[in-house]
Structure 1
Amino acid sequence: MNGKMHSETGAFSSDGMRAEILNPFVHKLELDNTYDKIKTAIFTVILLPFRVIVICYLIVTAWFLACIGLYGLSEEDLRRQPMTGWRRALKPLICFIGKMSYLAGGMAISVRGRQASRKEAPILVVAPHSSFLDSCIVYATRMSSVIVRKESMDNYVGKLINYTQPVYVWRDDPNSRQNTIKEIIQRATSKEDWPQILIFPEGTCTNRSCLITFKSGGFYPGVPVQPVTIRYPNARDTVTWTWEGPGALKLLWLTLTQVHSSCEIEFLPVYYPSEAERRDPKLYARNVRDVMAKALGIPVLDYTYDDCRLIARAKQLGIPGATSVREVSELRAQLGLERSRIELHLIAQGPMARKRWFSAAELPCRLGLPETPAAQRLADIFVQRSSGLIHFPDYLLCAAFLCLQQEPLTQLLSYAFKLYDTTGTGRVDVNTFEEIATHCLGLCQEDAHNTFGQADLDEKGWITYDEFISFAQKKPFFSFIFTNDLAAQKPKTQ
């Protein structure tokens, strides 16, 4: 791929013109025809049980060998010095068993290129990260050290993870990022024979349509790195695990009921940083990403893990267009809406000043925009399949969510009451409140209905925004609406 490979706004084509906006966090997978459904059903009965039994046997065997290799070693021992002698000699056997577990599941792992030695490249940079099945890279790289959350050690594969002598991340530690970078630097520059460090610099799973922003933590040591790419060249993509798409169990089931799957791992030439890249880890990360994107033949897109959190928060609250909220944000910035915040002014004008339903072609006019491809794309995101029309309050609520990201949720909620109140009286009935609560509070319709009944103490048949806030302040369940923390989690059930 020639031309500019990274930008502040998104993917670019070789001629410098803006390419089609991608959403790397969505993956659609359905059994489209009767043949696929019948084949999957048959293999679920005759193939899946056999594969599960063999895989479990192999994993337990590898786990048992890891327990032997770790016998007598404390967590502090694992962090202080690399394993040697017979403990290290078990690694090739565990790697072989690990690869066999994938083969037992119908997935053949092929490797191209040569893995550099630790002396040549202390760090392996792996991308794209798209699946929990990417863990095969650990076996393909002879048990390289992974970067892992400490709480992940509590599950049954903790021994296998510990055997790689991982770099631990404590999410509860406010200095976690600095401590992790410090340990990466110590490992990468140590004269001792530590395993190579294996990092997934994207920090989250995508659908492999592009490479998103690389985190710079693995590039702070300023040492040479070896880029490693992962591909899954299968007719049906049953491995991709993103924010919007099938869950892990469904993907595992569909993968294990395929006759054959494949994974291609390619070791690219070692990347030696320039002096400028050693001084600037972000520059180093961007340039390595460009090299990997060129090898994969895909664009780069400056999405970050924070964008993932934004999408997750929008989905959690039920914001209309949640899965495309990052794209909506980018389009609004291109169109100047981010600066004007015109949507908030439209909301403030009240319901009588707004037409609620209209075609996609009308949206640019409603927002005072010229008819451009970006404006049309923004409209297309909010077109409802059932009617072919845009429900304007849904778009305005999504825009308000983006404008008010740093504000407590009460601010968004106050706008939602204005948006969905068709009477202009400030009072909403149970049906309108259900619409607000499902689009702004993440409640299901039944919970929204029950909440309205509890908030309407006088059984008037309507409540105001102030009445709901007064009610919510007394309920621990609704504490999440009074914080401006984007990552704040609301309870799963009321």
Structure 2
Amino acid sequence: MAEALGVPVTDYTFEDCQLALAEGQLRLPSDTCLLEFAKLVRSLGLKPETLEDDLDKYATRAMKMKKEKADLKEFSAYLEFPVSHTLESMFALFDENEDGIIDVREFVIALSVVCKPSKTLETIQLAFQLYQSENGTITEEDLGHILKTAMGVSQIDVTHLFRAVDEEEKGKITYDDFYRFAELQPHFAEDYLYPDQMVAESGLKTSSLSAPNGICTDFSPENAEDKNKPLQKKWN
């Protein structure tokens, strides 16, 4: 039908549309790489009907690994999938420093967003469990890693948000601190993460963060031809 109508054909699915348009508290920016990640998840063979169970399994394994990094072979064993072009592409997506190792906690956060795109706080709660210290707190640096991954961007400034949550200026916050803040400030992303990049369209606010596009193709028909180009690194 698309060809008959003379419009570009994309390989994004209905689930990708749900991810892009999800009404969670973290509105995905137009250049998010999570759409590309979602495609790789499907290509790898993870099934939508079992994705939440897979998420629980991988989260448990990541918690046991704590801060240990994984190379490609270890990532393959972690996922229980053989090394393939798809797996290599997914690994490259998280190989931020191009040093051949990744933090599997970032994979779990990305998978949680894809699995539950409208349930922002559930993803953030899981991320806190992955990053928190023994006393249940995370630092500003940790929050930066969490939100950068959850939004699929190459960089993000969380200083204003962290300071707003950390009312007692302890330099660390708990999930309860974040939850209470999010309940009072449901639009915290627009207000604290990218207030200068928000524009109004039809009464709704959408993000236009200018992070490098990297591996991710833009979720728009005019860029559909990019789908046949070789994959590049997400974070540069």
TM-score range with shorter-chain normalisation?
A: 0.5 to 0.7
The one of the two structures with greater contact order (alpha-carbon pairs below 8 A, sep at least 6) is 2
Query: Where does residue 182 of structure 2 map in the other structure?
Result: 472
Query: Where does residue 440 of structure 1 map in the other structure?
Result: 150
C-alpha deviation, 1:362, in angstroms: 2.0
- Pairwise CA RMSD of aligned residues? 3.8
Query: Where does residue 94 of structure 2 map in the other structure?
Result: 382
Higher helix share: 2
Tell me whether 1:126 sits opposite 2:17 in the alignment.
no
C-alpha deviation, 1:417, in angstroms: 1.4
SS at match of 1:357: coil
* Alignment deviations for residues 267-311 of structure 1 (CA, whole Å, 9 cap, x no partner): xxxxxxxxxxxxxxxxxxxxxxxxxxxxxxxxxx4x346524535
Q: Structure 1: any 5+ residue segments left out of the alignment?
A: 1-123, 130-210, 213-300, 481-488
Query: Where does residue 403 of structure 1 map in the other structure?
Result: 115
C-alpha deviation, 1:390, in angstroms: 2.2
**Letter matched to residue 440 of structure 1:** A
Tell me whether 1:420 sits opposite 2:113 in the alignment.
no
Indicate how the Cα distance of structure 1 residues 403 and 304 shifts in structure 2: closer, same or farther if over 3 A, else same: closer
Tell me whether 1:394 sits opposite 2:103 in the alignment.
no
Whole-angstrom CA distance in 2 between matches of 1:374 and 1:439 = 19
Indicate how the Cα distance of structure 1 residues 454 and 347 shifts in structure 2: closer, same or farther if over 3 A, else same: same
SS at match of 2:19: helix
Query: Where does residue 362 of structure 1 map in the other structure?
Result: 74
Whole-angstrom CA distance in 2 between matches of 1:387 and 1:312 = 34
Query: Where does residue 59 of structure 2 map in the other structure?
Result: 347
Which residues of 2 match residues 44-63 of structure 1 at below 5 A? none
Indicate how the Cα distance of structure 1 residues 424 and 351 shifts in structure 2: closer, same or farther if over 3 A, else same: farther
* Alignment deviations for residues 41-67 of structure 1 (CA, whole Å, 9 cap, x no partner): xxxxxxxxxxxxxxxxxxxxxxxxxxx
Whole-angstrom CA distance in 1 between matches of 2:103 and 2:114 = 18
Contact 1:418 1:424 (C-alpha < 8 Å) held by counterparts: no
**Letter matched to residue 127 of structure 1:** G
TM-score normalised per structure 1: 0.32
Whole-angstrom CA distance in 1 between matches of 2:175 and 2:205 = 20
Identity of aligned residues (%): 20
**Letter matched to residue 5 of structure 2:** V
Query: Where does residue 310 of structure 1 map in the other structure?
Result: 19
TM-score normalised per structure 2: 0.62
C-alpha deviation, 1:464, in angstroms: 0.5
Whole-angstrom CA distance in 1 between matches of 2:30 and 2:150 = 6
C-alpha deviation, 1:336, in angstroms: 5.2
* Alignment deviations for residues 195-250 of structure 1 (CA, whole Å, 9 cap, x no partner): xxxxxxxxxxxxxxxx34xxxxxxxxxxxxxxxxxxxxxxxxxxxxxxxxxxxxxx
C-alpha deviation, 1:434, in angstroms: 2.3
Contact 1:318 1:441 (C-alpha < 8 Å) held by counterparts: no
SS at match of 2:95: coil
Contact 2:165 2:181 (C-alpha < 8 Å) held by counterparts: yes
Indicate how the Cα distance of structure 1 residues 337 and 418 shifts in structure 2: closer, same or farther if over 3 A, else same: farther
C-alpha deviation, 1:424, in angstroms: 4.1
Which residues of 2 match residues 441-456 of structure 1 at below 5 A? 445-446=156-157, 448-456=158-166
Query: Where does residue 5 of structure 1 map in the other structure?
Result: none
Contact 1:319 1:398 (C-alpha < 8 Å) held by counterparts: no
Indicate how the Cα distance of structure 1 residues 128 and 388 shifts in structure 2: closer, same or farther if over 3 A, else same: farther
Whole-angstrom CA distance in 1 between matches of 2:59 and 2:175 = 15
**Letter matched to residue 357 of structure 1:** K
Which residues of 2 match residues 79-228 of structure 1 at below 5 A? 125-129=4-8, 211-212=9-10
C-alpha deviation, 1:427, in angstroms: 0.3
Query: Where does residue 201 of structure 2 map in the other structure?
Result: none
Whole-angstrom CA distance in 1 between matches of 2:73 and 2:61 = 22
SS at match of 2:4: strand
Contact 1:311 1:324 (C-alpha < 8 Å) held by counterparts: no
Query: Where does residue 225 of structure 2 map in the other structure?
Result: none
Q: Structure 2: any 5+ residue segments left out of the alignment?
A: 191-203, 209-236
Contact 1:338 1:403 (C-alpha < 8 Å) held by counterparts: no
Indicate how the Cα distance of structure 1 residues 476 and 368 shifts in structure 2: closer, same or farther if over 3 A, else same: closer
Whole-angstrom CA distance in 2 between matches of 1:420 and 1:426 = 9
Aligned length: 188
Indicate how the Cα distance of structure 1 residues 359 and 396 shifts in structure 2: closer, same or farther if over 3 A, else same: same
Tell me whether 1:325 sits opposite 2:37 in the alignment.
yes
